[in-house]
Structure 1
Amino acid sequence: MAVIAIQAQGAMGAGIGRRLTRHGATVLTCLAGRSAASARRAAEAGMRDATPAEMAGADILLSILPPAEAGACARWLAPALAAAPRRAVYADCNAISPETARAVAAIVAPTGAPFVDGGIIGGPPRDDGYTPVLYVSGDAAERLAPLREHGLDVRVTPGPIGAASALKMSYAGITKGLAALGSAMMLAATRAGAAEGLRAELARSQPQLLAWFGHMLPAMPDKAWRWVGEMEEIAGFTGPEAAAIYGAIARFYEGVAADQAGPREKAAALSAFLGGTAEG
């Protein structure tokens, strides 16, 4: 039976934990300092509370956190990894740039633990069998193969540490960037009284795009706070050519997140637009 450690217990971490436990793995996580909601998600997923030392001795350790916490997680676990008689394979699965991935790898390297660069594309695993894809790269990438036997779709992307993160950044830059552009224009059209006309034109000339927005945007406001850091990482990944674009998109998602914590006017306007009930 594989022993997999996951930090932390957000929607993705807990979703992957649930999939692994249901396919026979023992899944550890550390709940020290975590919220009651995190503890509840972990319990529902069958994840077991563990110390950093216990996590460091697992077969595989997956870091699944908001991008800004990737380095802190590695630094927190580094002493336990260094002291472990049998070190876990440390896989950073966060939405970070290749440069950040290499910085995290540099934190882990002195511990002697093998490091894998990872990037998750898709939403959390669901009970209907859906699973995201975990792309991995680096010399130790194939050491995550046991995860396939426990219900995960793990694919090795050729290249060194940073290759999987580059793939994740590129994909998310397209999909979440397009979601921001579409949302911004729908909100602008609504404010200007042109929502009905814009929706009708999209339905006429871009029906597939409108359908994609209808799939992508309803859940976006609740996720916007997590996408801020991801867009900032993408800004660093693209460099001068598009850094300003993704910096602006990060600020857009920041505004959506702030609104979602308050009046939720943006979410209501997008829902009305996509439902064809916006005034305009």
Structure 2
Amino acid sequence: MTRLTIALIGAGSMGSAIGRMLGASGARVLTTLEGRSAASAARAREAGMEDAGLADLAASDFVLSIVPPAVAAETAERLAPALNKASSKAVYIDCNAVSPQTVATIARTVDATGAAFVDGGIIGAPSSPKFYFSGPHAARANVLGDAGLAVRLLDGPIGAASALKMSYAGITKGLTALGSAMSLAAMRNGAGDALLAELAESQPQLAAWLAGNVPRMPPKAYRWVAEMEEIAAFIGEDFVEHRIYEGAAGLYARLAHDKAATDALGRFFTERGG
């Protein structure tokens, strides 16, 4: 089998972990370190990813975009000129936590270059991610299963994989937001210990889930702001429940900078819950 060359844009914790998996399976993994932080550059090199120019990325077999949701569309626009010029074009897979509306915009950018576009969604931790793919070219991404990724093909159009990601994250990260918000409110009003005791007694599974997820949230809160905004857009302004996720975005924006609140949440669920 021909060795795959896979360009991976984004060397955060998820991107570097996936780069390591692909490299371990024998694929050549390229990335761009231009403008990246020293920490991201170090993660990429440790994962065996090669720094490359945009022309080399565009000529790969696949491009996986795994970046913060707020820059997903910008990332496609940045690579589009190189895709336009490439004689052999990569299959571009957007793997970001964005709404179907946003992914449709990205697809139009990629389609204009003549490259094939696949809608992707990642569910799971960096150590065990699952990739869901949809759209008319999704079957072309099946080969990534031989390159070490857990691949699931959806029988749906562009937007289906993103809709799945939005729905799943809306439940899991939305529940983390609700648990954080109500725990902070209970603590502010002298009912924190009573709330945790009642959850442990009447909702033990929920109490255990919150104890396992809320304390791990603060370092990720800044990244979840745009994701909550994308989920609100996914639901749509015609449906009042989109405001739930606008509120969650505001909460995560606050918690990204409110160390006193996140420290209180950590103590609440570890010292009392433990």
Aligned length: 269
1:249 matched to which residue of 2?
248
Give TM-score, length-normalised by structure 1. Answer: 0.94
Equivalent-residue separation in structure 1 for 2:262 and 2:248 (angstroms): 17
Equivalent-residue separation in structure 1 for 2:130 and 2:175 (angstroms): 21
1:275 matched to which residue of 2?
270
Equivalent-residue separation in structure 2 for 1:106 and 1:183 (angstroms): 38
Are 2:228 and 2:249, in contact at CA under 8 Å, matched by a contact in 1? Answer: yes
Post-superposition offset of 1:267: 2.0
Are 2:142 and 2:153, in contact at CA under 8 Å, matched by a contact in 1? Answer: no
Are 1:222 and 1:257, in contact at CA under 8 Å, matched by a contact in 2? Answer: yes
Summarize the alignment of residues 20-99 of structure 1 with structure 2, pairs less than 5 Å apart: 20-99=22-101
Paired amino acid for 2:40: S
Post-superposition offset of 1:276: 4.1
Are 1:199 and 1:276, in contact at CA under 8 Å, matched by a contact in 2? Answer: no
Structure 1 unaligned residues grouped into runs of 5+ = 126-130
Post-superposition offset of 1:277: 3.4
Structure 2 unaligned residues grouped into runs of 5+ = none
Equivalent-residue separation in structure 2 for 1:72 and 1:268 (angstroms): 34
Equivalent-residue separation in structure 2 for 1:157 and 1:270 (angstroms): 38
Mapped pair 1:265 → 2:272: no
1:152-198 deviation digits (Å, cap 9, x = unpaired): 11101111100000011011111111110001111111111211111
Paired amino acid for 2:13: A
Paired amino acid for 1:244: R
Match of 2:204 among 202, 207, 210: 207
Match of 2:134 among 132, 137, 140: 137
Equivalent-residue separation in structure 1 for 2:24 and 2:261 (angstroms): 38
Mapped pair 1:231 → 2:259: no
Post-superposition offset of 1:275: 2.2
Are 2:121 and 2:165, in contact at CA under 8 Å, matched by a contact in 1? Answer: yes
SS at match of 2:190: coil
1:247-266 deviation digits (Å, cap 9, x = unpaired): 1110000000012xxxx212
Mapped pair 1:150 → 2:152: no
Match of 2:114 among 109, 112, 115: 112
Q: Which deviates further from its counterpart, 145-154 or 244-253?
A: 145-154
SS at match of 1:172: helix
2:103 matched to which residue of 1?
101
Are 2:183 and 2:265, in contact at CA under 8 Å, matched by a contact in 1? Answer: yes
Identity over the aligned pairs, expressed in percent?
Answer: 56
Give TM-score, length-normalised by structure 2. Answer: 0.96
Paired amino acid for 1:269: A
Paired amino acid for 2:99: S
Equivalent-residue separation in structure 1 for 2:247 and 2:182 (angstroms): 14
Post-superposition offset of 1:145: 1.4
2:190 matched to which residue of 1?
193
CA RMSD for the aligned pairs?
Answer: 1.1
1:107-144 deviation digits (Å, cap 9, x = unpaired): 0111110000011111112xxxxx11111100111111
SS at match of 1:75: helix
SS at match of 1:111: coil
Are 2:96 and 2:121, in contact at CA under 8 Å, matched by a contact in 1? Answer: yes
Are 1:2 and 1:146, in contact at CA under 8 Å, matched by a contact in 2? Answer: no
1:128 matched to which residue of 2?
none
SS at match of 1:136: strand
Post-superposition offset of 1:31: 0.8
Mapped pair 1:4 → 2:6: yes
Q: Which deviates further from its counterpart, 61-70 or 210-219?
A: 210-219
1:14 matched to which residue of 2?
16
Equivalent-residue separation in structure 2 for 1:197 and 1:181 (angstroms): 17
Are 1:7 and 1:30, in contact at CA under 8 Å, matched by a contact in 2? Answer: yes
